[in-house]
Amino acid sequence: MVHTSATSTTIAQTIFRVALGSVLVAHGSQKLFGWFGGGGVAGTTTAMNAMGFRPAKQSAVMAGIGEAGAGAALALGLATPAAGAGAAITMGVAASVNTPNGFFATEGGLEYPALLGVAAAAFAMSGAGPISLDGVTRHRLDQPWMRAIALIVIPIVIAVQIYRRRKTLATDAAASAAESGPQTVASTPATESSNPGTRL
């Protein structure tokens, strides 16, 4: 009974990991290649610029890699701590962009990217399991110290990216207010846009 339960858990873990990785690959492909109705690097660069991520093109490419590259590695179960951290950071930053819209995805909120980010972080902490390339390679790229570093790095990098973005948005708002004249200063926000059409 115990052996059967362990086998079922391993299979379930593998299914979930592959599904999560596949979803991330699909989203990353939208950003990098314009597949599945995505905007490609050019469209994503425009969106990144509007959202306050600079340099915009570099941010677009990094977001695409953070989803497609990390997603592929997660699906394969390869270098899971690094892959999970990369995906968690990307989705954590995406969730922060959607925060002004509330929680639920139907309103453009943080629900969906936050869920993907938490799931990716969980794999960074737990590893991919035996049915994985990490298992085949005897976990050479999935050591306990790697998992520990991943869990430390994830919140730090997310916090830094959020800070940089907010600083950029504040600078843009101040510049816009200065150009518009003193009569529009009070109505020019220096905060994040809640426009659901401009989100990751």
Sequential pLDDT tens for the chain (200 residues): 455 677 999 999 999 999 999 999 999 999 999 999 999 999 999 999 999 999 999 999 999 999 999 999 999 999 999 999 999 999 999 999 999 999 999 999 999 999 999 999 999 999 999 999 999 999 999 999 999 999 999 999 999 999 999 999 999 999 988 888 665 444 444 444 444 444 56
If one counts every other C-beta atom within 10 angstroms of the C-beta of residue 37, the result is 6
pTM, full prediction: 0.87
Which pLDDT belongs to residue 51? 96
- Distance, CA of 53 to chain centre: 14
Phi, psi (degrees; rounded to nearest 5) at 184: -110, 5
Which pLDDT belongs to residue 180? 81
The 3-class secondary structure across 129-148, one letter per residue, is CCCCHHHHCCCCCCCHHHHH
Which pLDDT belongs to residue 4? 64
Query: What is the spatial distance between Cα 198 and Cα 27, in angstroms, rounded to a whole number?
Result: 16
Give the contacts of 36 (CB within 8 A, at least 6 positions apart).
26, 29, 30
Which pLDDT belongs to residue 194? 44
Which pLDDT belongs to residue 199? 54
